[in-house]
Amino acid sequence: MARKNGDYESGKVGNRIYYTWHGRQCERAMPTHVANPQTEAQQSHRSNFALISKLSSYMKDAHLVGLHWQAMREKNSTYALFRKLNKDFFTPDGGINLPRIFVSKGPVPMATITDAKVGNGVLTVTFDSRNCSGEPTDEFFLFVYCPALCIGRLATPVPRSAGIVTAVLPDEWLRATPDTETITQSDNPAIRLHLYAFLRGSKGRTSDTIYYVVSAR
């Protein structure tokens, strides 16, 4: 239905749409057909976009911090940047190349994870505590992702100088059914936890993503 606004009309009348452009009354015809190709390539693209969007929601606690600095530079949201950085790491059959996923990006020098182990329901991660950025206030962030349950948890950040961070794991993570790949590759299947870490400096700048995988049992 069209509406009158002074000397101009806006809205739909029959198969015509009225609008104002640069102070002039304009009109255009309604489209007779909306393109919605169902090609294999288009379906694959839609499938990948859905997978990326889901993983983005599972990992939001990590990328809301880890991608914030880079997203601000690009005048983008962390969700959009997450999809942009990780769009090539998905397959149409639902596979995800988890070791290549970015949850953070930036110029701060990374710190190597030297060890990770689970004992009595607690994950303990040790990392290189040497200060390579010149900022003594660098913080180490650790995000633990359990793909068997599509759940992630961000541990409380610690100073880089600490060299160690711990996270209490929920009981359901330890009781989860191992993923298919683990079962087929091992006689003693275990829950695998994927660790995504990064450093954040005093100015909000972050490092690229540091990846590690550990068995929960």
- Which structural domain, as residue segments, surrounds residue 157? 40-215
Average pLDDT over residues 135-141: 85
Q: What is the pLDDT of residue 177?
A: 66
Minimal CA–CA distance to 160: which of 207, 214, 95? Answer: 207
Question: What is the predicted pLDDT for the residue at 186?
Answer: 39
pLDDT higher than 50, residue 181:
no
pTM: 0.74
User: Is residue 119 situated within a structural domain?
Assistant: yes
Q: Which residues of 150-169 are buried (b: 16+ CB within 10 A; e: fewer)?
A: eebbbbebbebeebebebeb
Q: How far is CA 84 from the centre of its chain?
A: 10
- The CATH number that applies at residue 84 is 2.60.40.10
Q: Determine what percent of the chain is predicted with pLDDT higher than 70.
A: 75
In a domain, 202, yes or no: yes
Question: Residues 62-91: what's their mean pLDDT?
Answer: 93
Q: What is the mean pLDDT of residues 37-65?
A: 77
Task: Provide the pLDDT for residue 59.
Answer: 96
Confidence band for 171, pLDDT divided at 50, 70 and 90: confident
Q: Is residue 1 part of a domain?
A: no
Structure confidence at residue 185 (pLDDT): 39
Specify the range with the lowest mean pLDDT, choosing from 69-73, 87-91, 184-188: 184-188
Q: Worst-scoring range by mean pLDDT, 40-54, 116-130, 135-149, 154-168?
A: 40-54
| Number of domains, the chain | 1
Q: What per-residue confidence (pLDDT) applies to 188?
A: 43
Residue 6 counted as domain residue: no
